[in-house]
Amino acid sequence: MSWSQDDFQHMRRAIELARRGRFSTRPNPAVGCVIVRDGRVVGEGFHPKAGEPHAEVFALRAAGELARGATAYVTLEPCSHYGRTPPCAEALIRAGVGRVVAAMVDPNPQVAGRGLSMLREAGIEVASGLLEGDALAINPGFIKRMSEGRPFIRIKLAASVDGRTALANGHSKWITGPQARQDVQRMRLAHGAIITGADSVLADDPAMNVRPEQLPASLTLPDTWSQPLRVVVDGRARLAPPLRLTAIESPVLLASTRAYGCDWPDWVESWQGPSRCDKLDLHALVAELAERQINTVMVEAGASLAGAFLSAGLWDELILYQAPKMMGSDGRGVVNLPELAEMTQVPEFQFKDVRRVGADLRLTLVRAES
């Protein structure tokens, strides 16, 4: 498929529009649409929130009669099904567009190519795959859940340059600087759930929420944003109020293998899952989160739980903030892994991105290519 300079320009704009919804559309994907007639943009739209119209509908409304014979650039294949809203493919056909360019096929099994087929069958010229990599990068969680049935899991770690997270006596505040901590706030916003462990809650009494006043000033929060679900892996149900985490009125899920002997506020739900090797089965927890339509999960946990997610293969991206400090070999390590006897057993990663955040480094690692 060959694309013109104009095609690239309009799809780039559609991607920019899609990104406006990235903090508010979950469980839906963030999608953008641009309608162009005779080289002139006649309509633009993005999906702001699940339950509200899709990007194509906003763009068609803006274009009105000018949509007839126009080209619609959409970052995701137009939908073909009745979900919370009617099919966009039908709306595009009714509006009489002449050409539809999609960046990628919708991995939702209810759509999966049917939207593009409907358009083709109606005589519309259809092309797909323009700036696909950029479109894939907007919705990693939606794509993961639709194609593999589990959320995209990001493990966040913070350590000194010698890989320590705390002194031997447990003191750990603060390893990274204020800009790295602000970066974590921004990252939390993009996740449907944040997971931590009971040990971290008992040691640090964290709130685990997004604090808008701590977000970068350059970031405009849409009115429709929501707090991520805060999840605590508390296998033996050791937690009890009062906790900062449960005092803040936004959803918390306490995941354990047994019942609690105490009462929690209405916004705190306890969920009992199966155990595996005497611990809460993390596969079952992740499946439960997918069932609850959580697309992206950030694990912000201590060395044991982070290591357990890694060892179980339940991860897609590792974010490691490294502070220019040394805490010495008596300090605590960043992840616990089972004892390894051979170098061939050492888990290998590859760097996807390395950048400075204030005084610290932020390393993004993914699985090594085999």
Ligand X SMILES: Nc1nc(O)c(N)c(N[C@@H]2O[C@H](COP(=O)(O)O)[C@@H](O)[C@H]2O)n1
Residues serving a catalytic function are 56
Per DSSP, the three-state class of 97 is coil
Give how many residues touch ligand X by CB under 6 A: 20
Mask: binding to Zn ion, 60-79, rule CB under 5 A, as x and -? -------------------x
Residue 144 binds ligand X, judged by CB under 6 A: no
Residue 285 binds Zn ion, judged by CB under 5 A: no
333 phi, psi to nearest 5 deg: -75, 165
Number of helices (H) and strands (E) in the chain: give both, helices first.
11, 18
**Cβ 38 to ligand X, closest distance in Å?**
24
**Among residues 12, 16, 20, 83, which is the contact residue for ligand X, using CB under 6 A?**
83
| 3-state DSSP of 63-88 | HHHHHCCCEEEECCCCCCCCCCCCCH
Do 35 and 67 form a contact (C-beta atoms < 8 A)?
A: yes
Mask: binding to Zn ion, 83-102, rule CB under 5 A, as x and -? -----x--------------
**Cβ 78 to Zn ion, closest distance in Å?**
6
Amino acid found at 5: Q
92 vs 159, beta carbon nearer ligand X: 92
**Cβ 56 to ligand X, closest distance in Å?**
6
Q: Is 240 annotated for ligand binding?
A: no
146 vs 198, beta carbon nearer Zn ion: 146
**Among residues 28, 196, 200, 295, which is the contact residue for ligand X, using CB under 6 A?**
28
Residue 111 binds ligand X, judged by CB under 6 A: yes
Cα separation of 222 and 220, whole Å?
A: 6
User: Residue 79 has which token pair?
Assistant: 């939908």
| Pairing of β 229-233 and β 193-197 | parallel
Cα separation of 89 and 66, whole Å?
A: 17
Residue 43 binds ligand X, judged by CB under 6 A: no
**Cβ 360 to ligand X, closest distance in Å?**
36
Given the structure tokens 């899920």, which residue do they identify? 253
Residue 54 binds Zn ion, judged by CB under 5 A: yes
Q: Is 211 annotated for ligand binding?
A: yes
User: Residue 21 has which token pair?
Assistant: 């919804």
Do 128 and 111 form a contact (C-beta atoms < 8 A)?
A: no
Q: Is 200 annotated for ligand binding?
A: no
Query: What is the CB-side half-sphere exposure of residue 126 using CA atoms within 13 A?
Result: 22
Residue (of 124, 27, 121) closest to 71 by Cα position = 124
Q: Is 315 annotated for ligand binding?
A: no
> Which residues sit in the known binding site for substrate?
172, 188, 211, 300
Give the residues lining the site for ligand X (CB under 6 A).
28-29, 31, 47, 50, 54-56, 74, 76-79, 83-85, 88, 106, 108, 111
Give the residues lining the site for Zn ion (CB under 5 A).
54, 79, 88
